[in-house]
Chain A
């Protein structure tokens, strides 16, 4: 599904990722954990094509294709989804309009028929119910005036509607209370499928109590300093990231 090879990324002339190797097979969930500033979001953004990040070495293959050569919208339509750590507010654009435009843009790209207003509403109502989202969140402008938890739920709603092949969740758990955390985890688990992979970026282990990963990687100082099974997350909970500061340096 995803193959990251020796990836080096520079932001404003500062090297942030210093040679990442990571392979995710179809159906797998990988967790990436690490201290603040270790480059987790950089890794997430590089996969979605945000501007300002320069790849100086290495490559990223998605379903065997050069992901980095694709425009952000193409990646999305091909099934790459990022749940943003900080979802963006878009004043004046109603959430429903945004969701419908996104779903239909991707359908167009894939040569599928667009959903009309009625069809879309039916789908979105269903997902909203499953995720326990208030209907009025659909009418408001995208993320404007949403609480932290509402923003994260809105990311999950988008993920549920867009049904990506590769979902990257960037600290979707931070700042959530336990109910919201469970809702997010339920959303993720509902999407688990043999042909769908996920990269769950988190700072804490608690999300991984609900979303059990196949592999856990520790990112520190721009490198993956350790990889292991799901138990690695528990171990990190006890020891913290302190030891990796020295490994990375």
Chain B
């Protein structure tokens, strides 16, 4: 039986399936069908689902989303987070369609595969088959725990295009790979489902920057899914800026597997969308695997921003640091759900999690749910959360030196958020992130 909220998407699948990337590949059709079946039976998440207790998708159900056609949109000026010349590889997707005319790929060589997933499916479908839907199982793949991620299942069914990055052993791409996702809608609301696959073979390194923006001011629903495989000793810096328009819904599901001594470093900045959810699951499954899951968000009005993380320590000596900082004004709401699971074999796991929220208005709210599940005895794990107003003492100190209240408040908020930017390894990226904070404070 298909639930009411799910029905329109199921119908979309029927209409779209002949035009989706990789059409004609039987294994992919099977994957999509399984995703669809799973989504149809689960339906859109509701607050009755444990992991969606604080984020209600009802507003999403009320919008009639059509299916987009990316080719028709003309783009005059590309938004970039990087100074000119800082990136040699840029991929642009409009409403989930790859735009070769706007993209630049310069680093292609033996062992360096950068392109769209659709192209990857044509060039080397067997490589894609090895990973797609395997790192993030959404269709009940054999022997895998499917997980209650209906929106991932929906993405699997309707997967549009996205980044495919594959680096062979030891390959290093020094400059950031910039991936720009543009949602372009006007009167007709549009839904699209970007799908990214990142495979770094042992000892390879890359920096990936995702930039999500809107054009046209219409309602969009970007339901993206990203699978990441990091081989032994691989290093991925994964940055994201979500600055979509005020009428949009943005849901992102990331699954990463981190091998021995590999490092997954992620930082996301979220300031757009009426409703956004970033859900990241990391499996630390090689000794010495390490991850940083960091983020910052700035929300106001009636914006809703959900951060949900799951870190699984599966083997001995793995570590993870999570720091999420947010500023909420007006009636904005944030959710932070952070789950850490230390499996029985995972001795000497080191997992720390921190959520810090600054509530600038009495009506702003944050729901925080940390969950530590520890089945090993020799571990260091902690979680912490703070939520509060600006530091009054600091505010008075600044005012007593002549700063008017407004600028003094802005300085303190900026300082609070800037700390999280300082950890970004891609220096070229910092000015854009800092500017986004300053801009947000100005409006």
Interface, chain A (partner B; CB < 8 A) = 48-51, 71-73, 75-77, 82, 84, 87-93, 97-98, 101-102, 105-106, 109, 141, 158, 162
In the bound complex, do residue A77 and residue B415 qualify as a contact, i.e. CB atoms below 8 Å apart? Answer: no
Q: Contacts A51-B392, A76-B402, A162-B402: A84 and B397 contacting too (C-beta < 8 A)? A: yes
Q: Provide the bound-state CA to CA distance between A123 and B217, in Å.
A: 48
Q: Contacts A76-B402, A93-B411, A109-B402: A87 and B397 contacting too (C-beta < 8 A)? A: yes
Contact residues in A for B392 (Cβ distance below 8 Å) = 51
Contact residues in B for A88 (Cβ distance below 8 Å) = 393-394, 396-397
13 A-B residue pairs with Cβ-Cβ distance under 8 Å, sorted by A, are A48-B400, A49-B399, A50-B400, A72-B400, A76-B399, A90-B394, A90-B398, A90-B415, A92-B415, A101-B398, A101-B403, A105-B401, A105-B404
Q: Provide the bound-state CA to CA distance between A48 and B401, in Å.
A: 10
Summarize B's interface: helix, strand, loop or mixed.
Answer: helix
Q: Is B30 an interface residue (CB 8 A)?
A: no
Contact residues in A for B393 (Cβ distance below 8 Å) = 88
Q: Shortest beta-carbon distance, A106 to chain B, in Å?
A: 4
Q: For the side of the interface on B, what is the size category?
A: 20 to 34
Contact residues in B for A87 (Cβ distance below 8 Å) = 397
Contact residues in B for A93 (Cβ distance below 8 Å) = 411-412, 415
Contact residues in B for A162 (Cβ distance below 8 Å) = 401-402
Q: Provide the bound-state CA to CA distance between A82 and B408, in Å.
A: 17
Q: Provide the bound-state CA to CA distance between A82 and B407, in Å.
A: 20
Contact residues in A for B414 (Cβ distance below 8 Å) = 92
Contact residues in A for B122 (Cβ distance below 8 Å) = none
Contact residues in A for B403 (Cβ distance below 8 Å) = 73, 101-102, 105
- In the complex, besides A73-B399, A101-B398, A101-B407, 12 extra interface pairs with C-beta distance below 8 angstroms are A50-B400, A71-B404, A72-B399, A73-B404, A73-B405, A89-B394, A91-B415, A93-B412, A97-B411, A105-B403, A106-B401, A162-B401
Contact residues in A for B419 (Cβ distance below 8 Å) = 91-92
Q: Contacts A51-B392, A90-B412, A101-B407: A82 and B418 contacting too (C-beta < 8 A)? A: no
Q: Provide the bound-state CA to CA distance between A209 and B442, in Å.
A: 50
The total of Cβ contacts below 8 Å across the A-B interface reads: 75
Q: Shortest beta-carbon distance, B154 to chain A, in Å?
A: 40
In the bound complex, do residue B402 and residue A102 qualify as a contact, i.e. CB atoms below 8 Å apart? Answer: yes
Q: Provide the bound-state CA to CA distance between A87 and B398, in Å.
A: 11
Interface, chain B (partner A; CB < 8 A) = 391-394, 396-405, 407-408, 411-412, 414-416, 418-419
Contact residues in A for B416 (Cβ distance below 8 Å) = 92
Contact residues in B for A92 (Cβ distance below 8 Å) = 414-416, 418-419
Contact residues in B for A51 (Cβ distance below 8 Å) = 392, 396
Contact residues in B for A76 (Cβ distance below 8 Å) = 399-402
Contact residues in A for B418 (Cβ distance below 8 Å) = 92
Contact residues in B for A71 (Cβ distance below 8 Å) = 399, 404-405
In the bound complex, do residue A72 and residue B412 qualify as a contact, i.e. CB atoms below 8 Å apart? Answer: no
Q: Shortest beta-carbon distance, A145 to chain B, in Å?
A: 14
Q: Provide the bound-state CA to CA distance between A105 and B397, in Å.
A: 14
Contact residues in A for B408 (Cβ distance below 8 Å) = 73
Q: Provide the bound-state CA to CA distance between A97 and B400, in Å.
A: 16
Q: Contacts A102-B401, A162-B402: A72 and B411 contacting too (C-beta < 8 A)? A: no
Q: Provide the bound-state CA to CA distance between A97 and B392, in Å.
A: 19
> Lowest 6 A-B CB distances belong to which pairs?
A92-B415, A76-B402, A102-B401, A88-B397, A72-B399, A106-B402
Most buried by B among A71, A77, A90, A141: A90
Partner of B400, one of A82, A90, A91, A109: A82
Nearest opposing residue in chain A for B405, CB measure = A73
Nearest opposing residue in chain A for B404, CB measure = A73
Q: Provide the bound-state CA to CA distance between A90 and B413, in Å.
A: 11
Q: Shortest beta-carbon distance, B345 to chain A, in Å?
A: 39
Contact residues in B for A91 (Cβ distance below 8 Å) = 415, 419
Q: Provide the bound-state CA to CA distance between A88 and B394, in Å.
A: 6
Nearest opposing residue in chain B for A93, CB measure = B415
Q: Provide the bound-state CA to CA distance between A60 and B416, in Å.
A: 36
Q: Shortest beta-carbon distance, B404 to chain A, in Å?
A: 5
Contact residues in B for A90 (Cβ distance below 8 Å) = 391, 394, 397-398, 412, 415
Q: Contacts A90-B415, A92-B419: A98 and B402 contacting too (C-beta < 8 A)? A: no
Contact residues in A for B402 (Cβ distance below 8 Å) = 73, 76-77, 102, 105-106, 109, 162
